[in-house]
Structure 1
């Protein structure tokens, strides 16, 4: 269901909430550059079915309320333009507000995809709100790879991702030997999104299994 949250700077924004209110494990799910669209709601419901309480904040609300995009080239360009209107600092204010809105007492994690993959990494390094972080194909991780994580981190990359060269992945691995990194041969960017042309069901399933096992280990 759609809810409204307020960040510490007074910004009011929408979010998608799913899962049991009494859950003992909880996730902030972080959007791609396409808003909290049908795919992100599908991801949220998947984790809710696994027993997680989930909140997916609409990070584009600072630029445009309720932006939901598809996956055509025009959507990509619009998403990139919206992303530029939201600062990294503002993003983290909204992430903290989402974390605070999860059930009290639940073990909290963060998982993100695309832009959200980078933000999940920042959730580990720029926040102390989470006990685990999982990032999928975050293009901004390499640039901030020297930041120190405050919780265990698992990262997923496609070997054929045109936007994230394997040299970036290896640079992350070298800078963060304690981070669990998985690379999927033949997979491109967005391989876990069922609405993208790059969707790879087998890789998506394996990455999901690894993510759930990692979250179970660290969130209980």
Structure 2
């Protein structure tokens, strides 16, 4: 697990993509820590080296075989750290975003930020019990984000935003990176987290 701890009052759990603890995820962790949060980032892959982006198929197969959408590691972590913090937010990217969504029913966390979790579409029966920010890319190859937005509109605690970009647009190391849309999405997530912890 990658951690950045400074005995802050509030914490964030960051859930990585299929690639593992890569430079993008570590950068996100550092930015969240610099904003005044303790950071916990579980390594679902149990690999020291992350997959590279050109190993997408291999990374996906590895994730599905050895990890899958199993939230037990996240809930174990939540149970261990819950008493240390006033508020705990879960922030996930891609498969990590879907895992974050699966945690949104729990009373153990206080908010969810989900960056382009494509598999949320398989779990629309989950009803969040926490404020939940869903950030999606407009141009998804395997599903329609507008239809997902419609499906989730029945949940009062969900704030759903679609950005004019592609999956991975907030990752500066990804070919889909879109600086302007990323800046908007990151500002939105920062404001969302600030509202929860203040």
What is the correspondence of 1:93-104 to structure 2 with a 5 Å cutoff? Answer: 93-99=72-78, 100-101=80-81, 104=84
Q: Indicate whether 1:191 and 2:181 are aligned.
A: no
Q: Please report how far the alpha carbon of residue 150 of structure 1 lies from its aligned counterpart in structure 2 after TM superposition.
A: 1.8
Q: Indicate whether 1:117 and 2:103 are aligned.
A: no
2:139 match: secondary structure: coil
Q: Which runs of 5+ in 1 are unaligned?
A: 1-14
Deviation by residue 1:77-117 (Cα, 9 ceiling, x = unmatched): 111111212243xx312112333347703310100001011
TM-score when normalising by structure 1: 0.83
Contact 1:32 1:113 in 2 (8 A): yes
CA 218–60 in structure 1, closer or farther in 2 if over 3 Å, else same: same
**CA distance in structure 2 between the partners assigned to 1:110 and 1:165 by the alignment:** 24
Structure 1: 4+ residue segments shifted above 6 A:
none
Contact 1:23 1:103 in 2 (8 A): no
**CA distance in structure 1 between the partners assigned to 2:41 and 2:151 by the alignment:** 26
CA 198–102 in structure 1, closer or farther in 2 if over 3 Å, else same: farther
Match of 1:58 among 21, 43, 66: 43
Cross-structure match for 1:8: none
**CA distance in structure 1 between the partners assigned to 2:124 and 2:156 by the alignment:** 11
**CA distance in structure 2 between the partners assigned to 1:136 and 1:212 by the alignment:** 13
